Amino acid sequence: MALPYELLIGWRYTRAGRASHRNGFISFISAVSMLGIALGVAALIIVLSVMNGFQKEVRDRMLGVLAHVEVLTYGGEALPDADAVAAQLRAHPRVRAVAPFIAEQGLLAHGQDMKGVVVRGVDPTAEPAVTALGAELAAQALAALEPGRFGVVLGAALARSLGVSVGDGVTLVLPSGQLTPAGVVPRLRQMTVVGLFDSGHYEYDATLALVHLADAQRLFRVEGPTGLRVRLDDLQVAREVAIELAARLQQAGFEGLTVRDWTRANRTWFAAVQVEKRMMFIILTLIVAVAAFNLVSTLVMTVTDKRADIAILRTLGASPRSVMAIFVVQGAAVGVIGTAAGLALGLGVALHIDTLVPALERLLGVHFLPQDIYLISRMPSDPQAADIVPIALIALALAFVATLYPSWRASRINPAEALRYE
3 state SS for the chain: CCCCHHHHHHHHHHHHHHHCCCCHHHHHHHHHHHHHHHHHHHHHHHHHHHHHHHHHHHHHHHHHHCCCEEEEECCCCCCCCHHHHHHHHHCCCCEEEEEEEEEEEEEEEECCEEEEEEEEEECCCCHHHCCHHHHHHCCCCHHHCCCCCCEEEEEHHHHHHHCCCCCCEEEEEEEEEEEECCEEEEEEEEEEEEEEECCCCHHHHCCEEEEEHHHHHHHHCCCCCCEEEEEECCHHHHHHHHHHHHHHHHHCCCCCEEEEEHHHHCHHHHHHHHHHHHHHHHHHHHHHHHHHHHHHHHHHHHHHHCHHHHHHHHHCCCCHHHHHHHHHHHHHHHHHHHHHHHHHHHHHHHHCHHHHHHHHHHHHCCCCCCHHHHCCCCCCCCCCHHHHHHHHHHHHHHHHHHHHHHHHHHHCCCHHHHHCCC
pLDDT classification of 17: cutoffs 50, 70, 90:
very low
Quote the CA–CA distance of 79 and 408 in Å, as a whole number: 74
Q: If you average pLDDT over residues 332-347, what whole number do you get?
A: 89
Residue 173 has pLDDT above 80, yes or no: yes
The answer to whether the CB of 115 falls within 8 A of the CB of 158 is yes
Q: What is the mean pLDDT of residues 400-420?
A: 76
Centroid of chain to Cα 140: 33
Q: Please state, for a pLDDT cut of 90, what percent of the chain lies above it.
A: 12
Long-range Cβ contacts of 175-181 (<8 Å, 24+ apart): 175/104, 175/105, 175/106, 176/220, 176/221
CA angle 128, 134, 137 (to 5 degrees): 110
- Kindly state the average pLDDT of the residues 347-376: 76
pLDDT reported for residue 10: 66
- The torsion angles phi and psi of 255, rounded to 5 degrees, stand at -95, 160
Every domain of the chain and the residues it spans: 5-61+269-419, 67-265
Please compute the mean of the pLDDT values over residues 308-336 and round it to a whole number: 78
Is the pLDDT confidence value at 345 over 90? yes
pLDDT in tens, 24-83: 666 677 778 888 889 889 988 998 888 888 888 777 777 778 888 988 887 778 888 888
Q: Report how far residue 303's alpha carbon sits from residue 411's, in angstroms, rounded to the nearest whole number.
A: 10
Predicted pLDDT of residue 322: 80
Confidence of residue 374 (pLDDT cuts 50, 70, 90): low
Rounded to the nearest 5 degrees, what angle is found at the Cα of 296, between the Cα atoms of 295 and 301? 95
pLDDT at position 182 over 60: no
CA–centroid distance for 65 within its chain: 18
Using alpha carbons only, what angle is made at residue 24 by residues 22 and 25, rounded to the nearest 5 degrees?
Answer: 120
Contact by Cβ (8 Å): 30, 18: yes
Report which listed range, 6-20, 298-312, 321-335, is most confident.
Answer: 321-335
Q: Please tell me the pTM assigned to this model.
A: 0.69
Task: Return mean pLDDT, the chain.
Answer: 81
pLDDT over 90 at 343, yes or no: yes
